[in-house]
Chains A and B, each alone.
Chain A
Amino acid sequence: AQRVTQPEKLLSVFKGAPVELKCNYSYSGSPELFWYVQYSRQRLQLLLRHISRESIKGFTADLNKGETSFHLKKPFAQEEDSAMYYCALNYGGATNKLIFGTGTLLAVQP
């Protein structure tokens, strides 16, 4: 069965430090993965998806099929990056049904 695992509930770093939010997945097909973010008092929104290979707000994520991982990285954290981050897997193909990880709260200290 498909599964998304985010092992860290909370990640606390200082401003300017590198950030890596971990995401591992289990899926028998060809995975399509996303990172969604929820800032305080805002709606859940898409941060990036692996297909587009974009860098959004300085964040990147590379799909590693060998390790079944899709970790989110940023070289220098900013205070405005503090938010809840969810990794999600599309298990429904064209239906875009998503299964979410439990989320990681990123707290960037000044």
Chain B
Amino acid sequence: NAGVTQTPKFQVLKTGQSMTLQCAQDMNHNSMYWYRQDPGMGLRLIYYSASEGTTDKGEVPNGYNVSRLNKREFSLRLESAAPSQTSVYFCASSAVSYEQYFGPGTRLTVT
């Protein structure tokens, strides 16, 4: 039981490049979330998914797209990376108990 897994752990992109961050959970949770964490700031919600095929914007959705193709996986895509998207990205999932289970994070640097 791995919980929430994220790939890759680290990534360096050049401005304008695209990439997809992958997240998977094996806890049969309906809800999944993507957050970003910047120095001196708390985690900020980028996107949320209540179930397969549904997504909803969070606080800071601009510059990102998401896909929830099945119950296990929730991916975050940067179509044209910008230096302002340099951050640590966390994926989380939850059931109805409201406790969110977090992944280990992806550290992304955009130069």
Residues of A within 8 A of B (CB): 4, 6, 9, 32, 34, 43-46, 49, 51, 86, 88, 90, 92, 95-103
A32 to chain B, nearest CB (A): 7
A17 to chain B, nearest CB (A): 26
On chain B, the number of residues with a Cβ less than 8 Å from chain A's Cβ atoms is 24
Minimal Cβ-Cβ distance residue in B for A92: B48
Count of A-B contacts with CB under 8 A?
53
> A6-B42, A34-B98, A45-B101 provided; 9 other pairs, C-beta below 8 A?
A32-B98, A45-B102, A46-B100, A86-B42, A95-B31, A98-B45, A99-B42, A100-B43, A103-B42
Residues of B within 8 A of A (CB): 4, 31, 33, 40-45, 48, 50, 56, 58-59, 90, 94, 98-105
